[in-house]
Structure 1
Amino acid sequence: MSTNSELMARREAAVPRGVSNTHPIFTQRAENAELWDVEGKRYIDFAGGIAVLNTGHRHPKVMAAVAEQLSRFSHTCFQVSPYESYIALAERLNALAPIEGPAKTIFFTTGAEALENAVKIARAATGRSGVITFAGGYHGRTMLTMAMTGKVLPYKKKFAPLPAEIYHVPFPHAPFGVTVQDSLRAIDMLFRADIEPERTAAIVLEPVQGEGGFIQAPTELMEALRALCDKHGILLIVDEVQTGFARTGKMFGVEHSAVKPDIITVAKSLAGGFPLSGVIGRAAIMDAAEPGGLGGTYSGSPIACAAALAVLDVIEEEKLIERANNIGAKMKSRLEAISRRNNTVPIAEIRGPGAMIAFDVVATRGTNEPDADMTKKVIAKARDNGLILLSCGVYGNAIRLLVPLTASDTLLDEGLDVLEQALTV
């Protein structure tokens, strides 16, 4: 059997460095919220494949649905010969999504594909071209979504020129000194200096920024954007790729406000580890593109659709929305206690709705000065002791916790013990 170091040497020889690895361990198998590497070492998974595994690794109900689908067929291409699971999943999401009036859904494969197609649909529906997004937001690595992403390193370096008609404004966050009014004034200035409202197709944002540091959009901002979009005929697109499907203690993150967007993009935990994304929107908007203008060879894979239908069943049957809130409360309580100790790495800004929790590693207790180097050390120490963590944030000093919502309290406590040990100096 190969070792982690042997496989890493092969990886470095065969795979470009542009796709990086947070942890130099190679997974051999995984169950629920645990995984084992090729050397047999066990890890508690607080990363969840970057929020893909809200229902855990290999949930039995998801595996059974996939096996049943595989016994019938693996692929036809929906545009060639459609299948019922695609329709059934669209119907479920149309009913669940906080969209005003009748909704329709189309499926793709990745989150970036969903965002690309959401913009295509918005442009077709409005006849406009401009797109406004937010600093710190992450929307993908394709050329358009890379332009939409509000973070240069590592996503944009060396890849210019980027597509035009994409504009960024600051995202409100008190430690950065940005208020909701600052964000709204920046949009107003865009309308005065760069693009008129009548040429703006959409405003796009995450209800909780993922890569940006798990920063939640204030309700005041969401309400102001809805009013602004209504005033000028602009579409409001909410990127739920990371926040969707019970992670935030709601089915969709935008439900923490009463705002109803025009379009929602989904992916990640939709299909329990199988590649699937989607765009849900108001029916009249979704029908704006001409037949054949949307789609893809693997878009809406029958295997992934079967998995997604099972995921929605699991969320309902196992009450994972309630579970997310319980997990988040436990995590925040434990982190607050750690933050008050004098023999731990200084941490600040414990935050996030539901079980989408993050905190900042700072240089000095009581400040917001980021310490990205210490963040890396904490993550490495946790890994050495059997816990998988991820960082995020525009300064690289936030640690995010994305444990599967199906994790037991015993496993959650064990993981938090390891995290506390990694933060102890």
Structure 2
Amino acid sequence: MTGGIASGKSVVAARLKERGAVLVDADALAREVVEPGTEGLERIISEFGPGMLDDDGRLNRPRLGEAVFGNPDRLSALNAIVHPLVRARAAAITAGAGRNSVVVQDIPLLVETGQGAAFHLVVVVDAPDDVRVQRMLDIRGMTVEAARSRMASQASRSDRLAAADVVLDNSSTLQHLLDQVDRLWDVRLVPFAHNLAAGTRAPRRGGPVLEPHRDEWAVQAARIAARLVAAAPELILAVDHVGSTAVPGLAAKDVIDLQVSVQDLEAAEKLAPFLAAAGFPAVRGAESDTPKPGDPDPSAWQKRFHANADPCRAVNVHVRAAGSAGWRYALMFRDWLRNDPSALRDYQAHKADLAGRFADSATTRAYAEAKEPWFTDTAWPRMSAWAEATGWVPPSYPS
């Protein structure tokens, strides 16, 4: 969880703790790791000098703040000391939490330090800049200049919102904010934690509902892809946004499809527990795509399939060996639709027809099965001809 100064983050943290969260407060830990006798304080004195101590031998925070404010090099030196110690302490607290616990790490500089990909969710407490300035004037007695200077030293509001999986709006009343926190806890955090502990995907209900294309799908896909890579960077060659949500202008179900490229299926098996820990458990019974005509090797269409444990963000993760037939098809199909307007129109019409036919279905299974012949009989020959005519080739990765 993060948020800019005067956004109301402390209120949210307190409410989550009331609801049962294990709260890890980065600011509190930052004070703890520089207490007298700690490695952190010794390293700060070595870097900044004994003048950083007060008369009681404790860290003189205002003096240290003056030494680093407006000086990026000095601030970087301080962060290089404190941040690793805080993260180690936070990791120890997290490791000691119960299996079904919801652990909330309150990190003011999460966006600035690029830590978002390390967590299952990033929650941003948000309020417009002018509202935050007024709060600093009313509650903290700051001047407008001082308030805006503090805000300017942090990530911009737009950068924080871009990093957010969840945004809690604190531009209205306190009760409005608390209601959002309670809903987040009940609807998303607790079920998510349960699914993670059980190693199961979140249930999906209802028939196919197509939505107009949303630009935010690409933003969400990039954020989730970074989370996947962070889970096991040594095993993952690339993560690509594929499927309908990856095609601008195409209506789609609100499901993000990601293709994870690995060296081979052995690597895919090794990757499975890391993806599960990151919030994407394996789904058995979906280990193969449908082979296309002319391919004599069905094994080239093998994959490993994972899906979201998060009940509020549907994600399909297709783990395929780089260079395999199924891997190549997913990338070619996406690029064909992105570059051939007639293909996009035809596929859109086909999807809309099937979505209407299966609108009353309890799941999307029948809809997906009914689409499959179109992929083989229509898409396969047309996009193969397109690829040959345009010289399309898939990406290559270092071995």
Q: Which has the larger radius of gyration?
A: 2
Structure showing greater relative contact order (alpha-carbon pairs closer than 8 Å, 6 or more residues apart): 1
* Structure with the largest fraction of helix: 2
The structure with more strand, counted as a fraction of residues: 1
User: What TM-score comes out, normalization by structure 2 length?
Assistant: 0.26
Give me the TM-score of the superposition, normalised by structure 1. 0.25
